[in-house]
Copies of this chain bind each other. A is one copy, B any other.
Amino acid sequence: MVGTFSYETLFSEDSTDTPLNPVAHAKYDFAVAYPAPETLPMDGLIQALQTAVDSNSEKVLAEMAYYPQQLGALELREYTIEKLKADRGFTVTPEEIALTNGSGEALGLVIQALTNPGDVVLAEEFVYMGTTNQLRRFGADIRGVAIDDGGIITEALDKQITELTAAGEKPKYLYTIPEHQNPTGSTLSGERRKAILEIAHKHGMPILEDDCYVDLRYKGEVQPAFRALDDSGIVVYVASYSKLLAPGLRLGYFTCSPDLMRRALSFKIGSGPNQFAAVAIEGFLKNNLDSHRDNFNPMLEAKCNSMVAALEEQFGDSGATWSFPEGGCYVWLTMPEGADIASIRDEVFEQGVGYVAGPNFEAEASGRIGQNCARLCFAFESVEKNAEGIALLAQLFKQHGVM
């Protein structure tokens, strides 16, 4: 029988007919969220896999043959613990860390363990849509926290929690990207982090810290992780190897209090994360982390500088402002109030420049703010294309009458 069976009456009430993400790329693609393909250490990763097999075939084969433990490959967990100790200054045990299919899975698991439909959850007023999509899917009522160039404004946060609590809407937890925030590029100072921790304890509100960009710092001083400043369990720490190595490896991780971790892991679909990628990552990074970062981050800096210089040149007298991040992948462009660059986004994309418009990042999804903002990824295109693309963007904005 051919193509006659209808599922119309059989779909679950929870399911929605969601179109698949399109694959299109603009000529100058600042809409993406990842580094340039040519910077990925593929040869090194493959070499590391081969070395692992050659030097301890039995162990690697056993790892590959078994269905992965929920926590993921022990060697990569142990390596990650060493890395966290060296880079982030805190120590956890192998039982307190779980590898995941990218940090997206880690976030999804923690969100499910902590969120009942209707729960109020706080996040920066512009923040990574992958997380807000998951928050909304599991019923969170997201409220945006006021930010400035330095990230969350601590006094505003405290006031907001107090007011929400008084209104019977006490926030369940705060989601934040403290280092090289997505989309704004801002980094929270150590002082603000300490203040936010105090506020969190005062209100009994956990912090879900997304540290996925920490490895991509090319200048300035790394700031202490929330998790390094607080060992009480109030901080859930999530990070990833996707940005440092390659998104296609799909390897993230999280650490949190053991009871929360057990509950989070109980939401896993299927078994643990990819062992094949885990063996390659552990093998590569244990010998090459520093040299890889020393090679990778100056490239990022040059690309960021090129984009920012082009913005100076092309947008300098437009009234626009932009962030000048110390790491990560994104510059946040803010056009003057009233310049609607969100509604022309698809046309500008067709004309050659891709960006993600502000409303996509609005935590509250009100559709009322961010129309004059855009996230520009500087990490993907070359130094030259960053400059060319920004010049074209200015030209197109003028053409569309928004500049």
Contacts and interface: CB of A to CB of B under 8 A. Distances in A.
Interface residues of A, number: 103
A379 B100 CA distance: 28
Given A18-B262, A42-B60, A206 B10 contact: yes
A65 B247 contact: yes
Interface in A293-323: none
Contact of A3 (B6, B18, B231): B231
A18 B97 CA distance: 16
B248 A70 contact: no
B3 A232 contact: yes
Contacts of A67: 33-34, 242, 247-248
A328 interface: no
A58 interface: yes
B270 A104 contact: yes
A114 B65 contact: no
A391 interface: no
A106 to B, nearest CB: 8
B64 A20 contact: no
Given A20-B71, A61-B40, A271-B102, A32 B266 contact: no
A103 B71 CA distance: 19
Interface stretch (A46-54, A158-166, A215-223, A346-354): A46-54
A285 B180 CA distance: 41
Contacts of A60: 42
Nearest to A102: B270
Interface string A363-387: 0000000000000000010000000
B231 A2 contact: yes
Contact of A277 (B12, B115, B274): B274
A141 B266 CA distance: 20
A276 B246 contact: yes
A4 interface: yes
Contacts of A105: 269-270
A226 to B, nearest CB: 12
Rank and list the top 6 A-B pairs by shortest CB-CB distance, nearest first: A104-B270, A248-B275, A64-B248, A37-B61, A108-B269, A1-B232
